[in-house]
C-alpha cells in the first residue's frame, strides 16, 4: 500500500491538462497515449486531421479520452490561438510538451532560405511563442510543467542537419533561460533529447537501408533502435511532481550513444 501511495502522490498526473504539439504521430503520439493512460486530459495537436484522428482512436482504444486540435504553427499568431482554443476546450494547460518539429537533410551549402525559415519557425519560433502564451495560464493555476523535445544535436554537432541542429541546440539554451525566469512561478522547464528513435522521420532518412541501420546500431551501446514508447517514462516524470526540483535540464535518451563507445578490437 505504501508503494502505491507514493506513486500516486509523487508521480500522478491524474486530472492534469496537457497540450502536446506534434502528437499526431511518432514520439508525440506515444507521449499523448501515455499521458492519457496516466489520467491526464490530453490535447492532441497536428497539421493533418486524419493523423490527429488516428491518435485519438488509439487513445480511445485504451479506454481514455483526448481532444484534437488542428493548427499550422508556422502562421503568425498560431501559437497564441492554439493555447486559447485548448484552454477553452479542456479548461486550461498544466503541462506543455513542445514536440512539433521538422527536418531537412542538406549540407550547409545546399540549404535554401526557404528551408532555413521553415525549420527555424516550426522548431524554435513556435516553441518560444507557445511558452510565452502558456505562461500566464500556468501562473494562474499555481505552476506548470514545460517539456521541450530536443535531439542529439542539442548537445553535439551532426553533419548534414545544420539548421535542425541550430534549432535544437538553441532549444537547450532556451530551456535553461525559461527555467531560470519562471522558477519563481513554480514552472519547471526541461528538455528531453532523444537519440535514434524509430519514427517516420528517422525511417526515411536514417533507417532506410540495412547498411545505415547496422552502422548506427554499432555505435549505440544498447544495440537497438529506440522506440517512441521509450520516452514515456521520462515524460511522465517531468510532467509530475516527482520532478519538482528538476528544471533547466537536458536529459538524453539515446541508448548510451553519447556516453562513449567500445574501442576494443573485435576478437579474431
What confidence tier does 201 reach under pLDDT thresholds 50, 70, 90? confident
254-265, pLDDT tens digit by residue?
999 999 877 777
For the stretch 66-86, pLDDT in tens is: 999 999 999 999 999 999 999
pLDDT > 90 in the chain, percent: 85
* Digit-coded pLDDT (tens) for 106-165: 999 999 999 999 999 999 999 999 999 999 999 999 999 999 999 999 999 999 999 999
Question: In angstroms, rounded to a whole number, what is the distance separating the alpha carbons of residues 221 and 130?
Answer: 36
Instruction: State yes or no: is 164 an active-site residue.
Output: yes
What confidence tier does 207 reach under pLDDT thresholds 50, 70, 90? confident
Work out the mean pLDDT of the chain and round it to a whole number. 94
The one catalytic residue among 135, 164, 211, 245: 164
Backbone angles phi and psi of 195, in degrees to 5: -85, -135
At residue 56, does pLDDT exceed 70?
yes
β-pairing verdict for 95-98 and 250-253: unpaired
Give the pLDDT confidence score for residue 2 in this predicted structure.
54
User: According to the CATH classification, is domain 2-197+228-252 in 1.10.287.110?
Assistant: no
Q: Which of 17-26, 102-111, 163-172, 206-215 shows the lowest mean pLDDT across its residues?
A: 206-215
Q: What band does 4 get if pLDDT is binned at 50, 70 and 90?
A: low
pLDDT greater than 90 at residue 205? no
Cβ atoms within 10 A of the Cβ of 217, count? 15
Nearest-5° Cα angle at 15, 10 to 17: 105
- From the number of C-beta atoms within 10 Å of its C-beta (0-12, 13-18, 19+), residue 76 rates as exposed
The three-class DSSP label of residue 18 is strand
Could you say which DSSP state residue 226 is in? B
Q: Cα(57)–Cα(65) distance, rounded to whole angstroms?
A: 9
Amino acid at each position: 500500500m505504501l508503494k502505491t501511495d507514493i506513486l500516486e502522490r509523487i508521480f500522478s498526473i491524474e486530472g492534469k491538462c496537457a497540450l502536446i504539439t506534434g502528437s499526431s504521430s511518432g514520439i508525440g503520439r506515444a507521449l499523448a497515449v501515455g499521458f492519457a493512460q496516466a489520467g491526464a486530459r490530453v490535447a492532441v495537436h497536428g497539421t493533418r486531421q486524419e493523423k490527429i484522428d488516428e491518435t485519438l482512436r488509439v487513445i480511445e482504444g485504451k479506454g481514455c479520452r483526448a481532444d484534437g486540435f488542428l493548427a499550422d504553427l508556422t502562421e503568425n499568431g498560431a501559437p497564441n490561438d492554439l493555447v486559447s482554443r485548448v484552454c477553452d476546450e479542456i479548461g486550461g494547460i498544466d503541462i506543455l510538451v513542445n514536440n512539433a518539429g521538422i527536418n531537412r537533410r542538406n549540407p550547409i551549402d545546399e540549404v535554401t532560405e526557404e528551408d532555413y525559415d521553415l525549420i527555424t519557425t516550426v522548431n524554435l519560433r513556435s516553441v518560444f511563442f507557445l511558452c510565452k502564451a502558456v505562461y500566464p495560464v500556468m501562473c494562474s493555476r499555481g505552476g506548470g510543467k514545460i517539456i521541450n523535445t530536443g535531439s542529439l544535436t542539442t548537445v553535439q554537432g551532426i553533419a548534414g542537419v545544420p539548421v535542425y541542429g541550430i534549432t535544437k541546440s538553441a532549444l537547450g539554451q532556451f530551456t535553461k533561460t525559461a527555467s531560470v525566469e519562471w522558477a519563481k512561478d513554480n514552472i519547471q522547464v526541461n528538455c528531453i533529447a532523444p537519440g535514434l528513435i524509430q519514427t517516420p522521420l528517422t525511417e526515411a532518412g536514417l533507417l532506410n537501408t540495412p547498411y545505415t541501420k547496422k552502422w548506427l546500431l554499432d555505435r549505440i551501446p544498447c544495440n537497438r533502435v529506440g522506440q517512441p514508447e521509450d520516452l514515456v517514462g521520462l515524460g511522465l516524470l517531468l510532467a509530475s511532481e516527482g520532478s519538482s526540483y528538476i528544471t533547466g535540464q537536458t536529459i538524453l535518451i539515446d541508448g548510451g550513444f553519447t556516453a562513449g563507445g567500445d574501442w576494443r578490437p573485435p576478437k579474431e
